[in-house]
Homo-oligomer: A and B are copies of this chain.
Amino acid sequence: MWYRSEITKKLGVQYPIIQAGMAGGVTTPELVAAVSNSGALGTLGAGYMTPETMQQAIKQIKQLTDQPFAVNLFIPEIPNVDTEAINQANEWLRPYREALQLTKPEVKQPSSSNYEKQLEILLQEGVPICSFTFGVPDKETIQKLKQHHLLLIGTATTVQEAMINEVNGMDMVVMQGSEAGGHRGTFLGEFEDAMIGTMALVPQAVDQVSIPVIAAGGIMDGRGILAALTLGAQAVQMGTAFLTCLESGAKKQHKEAILHTTEEQPVITSAFSGKPARGIKNQFITEMAAYEKDLPSYPIQNALTKEIRREAANQNRPEWMHLWSGQGPRLSRQQAAGEMISKWILQIDERIK
């Protein structure tokens, strides 16, 4: 069968399809479980979760499925708190806060303690698979997780980043093409240099690393899945396609925006988080564009805009929300995750019979 590979065997799933671990409430336990119950791999996007919330979600997932699932974590970044940059950013953000009747948040010094507690919980809960974004865990962490038989999936946006994942002992690596929605996973050099399209990125990575490659970026249906496997990937990771699922926890304005936009609208912006990410162009992105280079680093800018985005959703102001999307929104559908997956599999079976 076309869908058997080293990866499906290792992951213990039927289909070589991974639902991306989108952070910020998108990956409800219902979504993760629905995906895993349909023979693909669901992923809890725990990047922004507290250890407690994450543990709670993992317990719920385990009640909803007995199939393998993954948890996605963010490798922490610890910039210094630059008070001047924060004051300047708060000034730029003032009009949105005023309109939404919000006050300035208190800024905490970022640390890695949340991440370390998250890792402990992975072990406690016996999570079988963990993926990482924004870097590679240190060798000690990798060793420890592997001793507990966790399968480790890395994220790379260039061949060199893929090689670093391999050398450090990651089991497989997601190659994130420039089409992808949400944050760029780039952790080496300038992100602009790492905007490589999936069609070019995947075969070049496949030729250079010996760990299995997972393709991501612009893959939205059976055609994209089969094309990615043809390029040499052993599996695909899909984010935007799952974001509009019935089980997804994305805000309704976010889902609607994806379902009704076109391929030119999702643009790269650092305005929401201080880190480049692809989202549908709106007023916030356009107005903040001029200040992008001077914003506080991730995750500080992320903390500064968090309440604005949350409250914008509550007050139905999508023009100020982060509407992450990849470059294939015309192919998005509002459907149950399981139905979506079945449809893709049928599409592929039709194509290759």
Contact = CB atoms under 8 A, between A and B. Distances in A.
Interface of A: 158-160, 177-179, 189, 192-201, 203-204, 207-208, 217-221, 223-224, 226-228, 230-232, 262-265, 267, 326-328, 330-331, 351
Contact of A197 (B179, B203, B204, B351): B179
B218 A224 contact: no
B263 A207 contact: no
B199 A179 contact: yes
Given A159-B262, A207-B331, A197 B223 contact: no
A209 B224 CA distance: 18
A248 to B, nearest CB: 20
A224 B199 contact: yes
B196 A199 contact: no
Contact of A331 (B192, B204, B331, B351): B204
A145 B327 CA distance: 35
Nearest to A327: B200
A217 B198 CA distance: 10
Contacts of A195: 178, 195
A197 to B, nearest CB: 4
A263 B204 contact: yes
A262 B262 CA distance: 31
Nearest to A177: B197
Nearest to A208: B330
Given A177-B197, A197-B177, A327-B196, A203 B230 contact: no
Most buried by B among A220, A265, A328, A351: A328
Contact of A199 (B158, B198, B262): B198
A263 B327 CA distance: 20
A35 to B, nearest CB: 21
A348 to B, nearest CB: 9
Contact of A263 (B201, B219, B330, B351): B201
B219 A230 contact: no
B189 A264 contact: yes
A230 B328 contact: no
A159 B220 CA distance: 16
